[in-house]
Structure 1
Amino acid sequence: MNYDALKQEIIDHADELGIDKIGFTSADFFSDLKGRLIRQEALNYQSGFEEKDIDKRVTPSLLMHEPKSIISIALAYPSKMKDAPRSKKGERRGVFARASWGEDYHTVLRKALERLEQFIQERVPDARMKSMVDTGELVDRAVAERAGVGWSAKNCSIITPEFGSYVYLGEMITNIPFSPNEPMEDQCGDCNLCVDVCPTGALVQGGQLDAKKCIAFLTQTKDFLPDEYRTKIGNRLYGCDTCQTVCPKNKGIDMHKHPEFEPDPEIAKPLLEPLLTISNREFKESYGHVSGSWRGKKPIQRNALIALAHFKEASALPSIFEVMQHDVRPVMRGTAAWAAGKIGGEEAEKMLLKQKELEQDEEVLKEIEKGLSLCK
């Protein structure tokens, strides 16, 4: 079998397989990466969403018997929303990050990898393949970097010359010995914008992220948001794009190559108040297809309360009081109390004092006290 010819055939057919960029690398051990992951873990910089076994993240041979190479794929997604609704007084809106626009990218990438697997299997019937997207063991960015798809940037994203960092990544381990591509030279240079403007200082330095401080992580947590971050997330409901939008390499890039990634403006930038009382069924029907729904409605609803506080939207106080009084979840009641205090005014203070007499949960009572102190 002429594997170089097969490699070129895959590259030539990538577009019709729904793949925007493709790279090839060896299935060797990721030695440099292991050291970095151990340091990240020692510094407690991991989010907790990653594969726990570091060896599996850096050793393809633990995931497949005698692997020979890895194929890295990238799919471009839009950076601009058509007909985006405006957030205005009385009709405040939150926003989902671009990575949650349109259909869940895990689903779209898996379909692309399935088409690629079928394409290869038809030509090499005894080929073995194992594909993964995001939640797999390997580190997508490390594979893409070594496969020459792009360079690993200071904002901890892969930046491609064609699509900037607005790409989703996936990979396939195989027993086919494809010739590896050369990694791409780092092109960030002296630019440090992403590090300088990170709202929470999560980018400790170029290429190093304290994931627990990252707004993309914080918006996915389910507990009370730490006080120091509540004023940082603004109206973000899920994810954060700041380190991408400031990047000069992303300037002018807006790809609309996949209809699946086109956002529904009312889902990607929804009204905040209706989210406070949305039922599980309504949430699943409206948001179940987007990647930002994977943690359920609770984080989104908590973030919606914080967003209303960010806007100091006094017209939302009745809805916020409703949550504070009747929601069975302490995190929601407590966050509502804090949000009411942040918005402030006599009405908020009166309701907080009333609820203080009725509330029995200690954590919620602490949030009511915070709300009352903000009112003064």
Structure 2
Amino acid sequence: MEALNTLKKEIIAYSKEIGIDKIGFTTADPFTELKNRLIRQRELNYQSGFEEPDIEKRTDPRLSLEGAQSIISIAVCYPSKMKNPVRGNREERRGIFARSSWGEDYHRVLNDKLEKLGQFIRSKVPDARYKPMVDTGPLADRAVAERAGIGWSGKNCAIITPEFGSYVYLGELITNIPFEPDAPIEDRCGSCNRCLEACPTGALVRAGQINAKICISYLTQTKEDIPEPYRKKIGNRLYGCDTCQVVCPYNKGKDFHFHPEFEPDPEAAKPLLKPLLSISNREFKERFGHMSGAWRGKKPIQRNAIIALAHFKDVTAVEDLGKVLAEDPREVIRKTAAWALGKIGGERAKEILSSARDREKSEQVLAEIGQALKMLQ
């Protein structure tokens, strides 16, 4: 046990050297409480579909690493403010990516840190085995972090750390070494319900429970058509949503710039909207490929840009939207463009919609055009 405690201290010290801001240890026991919650989520149809479908894999670390004994949880903080923000104007409106997508894709950065941590452990214990995970692995990062004492699970389902608020990326390393587990942090949300009250779509149905299907973070990532009632809630968000984090008292004044790789390029984190409508695949990869918000490709971002232009009622975008409606091969994009023209309004928008109605073949797009023209009567 003495040797394990010494190794644990060495791992903690090394983690600081490689830019890990917080580290915690827990057992590899199954997450029984989480399992019950996930079963309930599935029964309520609250899952987004992006998750690992096998609940056993999500809750039993031993299914990811044979002989698993411990899990090391890590947190790396990211900034909440841009050092040199850009501002839009009436002629040049801008969208916004969620803070978690600013800078370099955190999956790559944290995976690199976890691999270094694993190699360090193996240098001390040659027969050690480990498996790193960041977000896309079967395990629920937040459940691991909560049990490992990184932070408590807030009412908005985010892990809140006393040091950095909830502006942290999470990852974990499953190992076959039986480290002494750390104690979880007591819940500190108390009677505060600001996140629940501020959620734009009511996705936070109650403390600690989210209907992922109507969460703006999910809606901005889906490639499908966004139901009309939720379009106006999206505003100018191109990817993700920070509302429940911004209103959290534990995030007040929290803004850390410890990692240069997470510093945002303002032109990428808050890009001009109109150029996004005609951006090529190659240009999209060059400009946004380094960001986690680009993982779904350009289609959702373009659809969200159209919604944002409607949100601003940007009359300077009418011709651009008309071109999209006339030429874009993707039904969802044309449909959203028709809706946006109806929202922006004006005689020119009406002319474009009337012209599009005469040549459009898709029944769904035609229905949207009809609705848009009704709005303009």
- Alignment partners' CA distance in 1, 2:356 and 2:151: 54
SS of 2:188's equivalent?
Answer: coil
- Give matches, 1:335-346, under 5 Å: 335-346=336-347
Indicate yes or no: 2:23 matched with 1:30: no
Q: How far does the alpha carbon of each residue in 1:230-289 deviate from its partner, in whole angstroms, 9 at most, with x for none?
A: 100000000000000000000000011111100000000000000000000000111111
- Alignment partners' CA distance in 2, 1:136 and 1:374: 46
Match of 1:170 in 2: 171
Match of 1:375 in 2: 376
Match of 1:312 in 2: 313
Q: What amino acid maps onto 1:70 in structure 2?
A: I
Q: How far does the alpha carbon of each residue in 1:44-101 deviate from its partner, in whole angstroms, 9 at most, with x for none?
A: 0000000000000111111111111000000000000111111210100000000110
Match of 1:111 in 2: 112
C-alpha RMSD of matched pairs (Å): 0.7
SS of 1:14's equivalent?
Answer: helix
- Alignment partners' CA distance in 2, 1:87 and 1:302: 19
Gaps of 5+ in 2: none
Q: Cα offset for 1:29? A: 0.9
Indicate yes or no: 2:150 matched with 1:154: no
Which segments of structure 1 move beyond 3 Å, counting only runs of 4 or more? none
- Alignment partners' CA distance in 1, 2:22 and 2:54: 29
- Alignment partners' CA distance in 1, 2:119 and 2:18: 10
Q: What amino acid maps onto 1:344 in structure 2?
A: G
Match of 2:22 in 1: 21
> Could you tell me the TM-score, scaled by structure 2's length?
0.99
SS of 1:121's equivalent?
Answer: helix
Count of residue correspondences: 376
> Could you tell me the TM-score, scaled by structure 1's length?
0.99
- Alignment partners' CA distance in 1, 2:370 and 2:200: 26
Q: What amino acid maps onto 2:97 in structure 1?
A: F
Match of 1:121 in 2: 122
Q: How far does the alpha carbon of each residue in 1:279-338 deviate from its partner, in whole angstroms, 9 at most, with x for none?
A: 000001111110010000000000000000000000110101000001111111111111
Match of 1:72 in 2: 73
- Alignment partners' CA distance in 1, 2:34 and 2:65: 19
Match of 1:264 in 2: 265
Match of 2:11 in 1: 10
- Alignment partners' CA distance in 2, 1:193 and 1:323: 39
Match of 1:236 in 2: 237
Q: Cα offset for 1:367? A: 1.1
Gaps of 5+ in 1: none
Q: How far does the alpha carbon of each residue in 1:314-366 deviate from its partner, in whole angstroms, 9 at most, with x for none?
A: 01101010000011111111111110110001111111111101101011101
Q: How far does the alpha carbon of each residue in 1:117-165 deviate from its partner, in whole angstroms, 9 at most, with x for none?
A: 1111110111010110000010000000000000000011000000000
- Alignment partners' CA distance in 2, 1:318 and 1:227: 22
- Alignment partners' CA distance in 1, 2:344 and 2:68: 58
Residue identity over aligned pairs, in percent, reads 65
- Alignment partners' CA distance in 1, 2:175 and 2:238: 38
- Alignment partners' CA distance in 2, 1:175 and 1:43: 36
- Alignment partners' CA distance in 1, 2:3 and 2:30: 25
Match of 2:214 in 1: 213
- Give matches, 1:349-368, under 5 Å: 349-368=350-369
Q: What amino acid maps onto 2:194 in structure 1?
A: L
Q: What amino acid maps onto 1:112 in structure 2?
A: K
- Alignment partners' CA distance in 2, 1:84 and 1:372: 38
